[in-house]
Amino acid sequence: MKLQVITSNQGKLREFQAALPQVEIIHNDADCDEIQADTLEEVVLSCIEQLRSKGLNNFILDDSGLFVDGLQGFPGVYSSYVLRTIGNAGLLQLMDGRTERQARFKSCIGALIDSEVIIAHGECQGKIAFAESGTEGFGFDPIFIPDGYEVSFAELSLAEKNKISHRGNALRAFSAQFNSR
C-alpha cells in the first residue's frame, strides 16, 4: 500500500520511512492550519479533517511536542513556536538553575486509511541536558537525553532513536492497528 506522509520536516520523513518498511512512503507537503489546541490529538484530528475536505486519502501525519515537568508541561503544544523563536538555547536558559529536568516527548500519529481515521500515541521519557550536543536528528534532539542513556537524541543514529523515541513508539502502535484492520 502507498501512504502519503504529510510533513514539511525532512527529519520526521526519514523517521517515518525507517519505521514503516512495509508500506511505500510518498512525501506530500500539503498544508493544514495548525489550530491552537490543548492536546496534540486535537491538532491531529483537525489536520486530518482539513486534508480529507481537500480530497486527500491514505495519508499519515504526526504532531509532537516536548513537555518539561519543571515548566508545567511547557512548551508542549507550543513546541514548534518555541523552537522558531527562542530555540534550544532559549529553552536551556529557561531551565537555568533548575535541578528538576525530567521531560517527555509525546507524539500523536493520525492517519486516514480508506477513509477511516486511525490515531496512535507514543511517549519517550528523559531529561533536559545542561548543554546542546550532537548533530543527528532535528529540533530539540540536541537537548533531550532519553532515560537510560548518557547521550542526547542528536548523538544517536536514526535507527537507535526510532527504537526508543516517542515517534517510534507511536508508529509501532499505529502499525499494530494498521495491520489488524
Neighbouring CB atoms inside 10 A of 163's CB total 13
- Site size for ligand IMP, by CB under 6 A? 17
Q: Residue 6 in 3-state DSSP?
A: strand
83-112 residues in contact with ligand IMP (CB under 6 A) are 83, 105
Q: What is the number of H-type helices and E-type strands within the chain?
A: 6, 6
First to last CA, the chain: 13
Q: Which is nearer to ligand IMP, 49 or 114 (CB)?
A: 49
Query: Taking CB under 6 A as the rule, does residue 65 contact ligand IMP?
Result: yes
User: Among the options 62, 63, 141, 147, which is catalytic?
Assistant: 63
Site string for ligand IMP, 124-143 (x = CB under 6 A): -------------xxxxx--
Q: Which is nearer to ligand IMP, 83 or 118 (CB)?
A: 83
Gap between the Cα atoms of 67 and 125, Å rounded: 10
- Does the active-site annotation cover 63? yes
154-173 residues in contact with ligand IMP (CB under 6 A) are 165, 167
Scanning 1-71, the segments in alpha helix (DSSP H) are: 10-19, 40-53
> Catalytic positions, please?
63
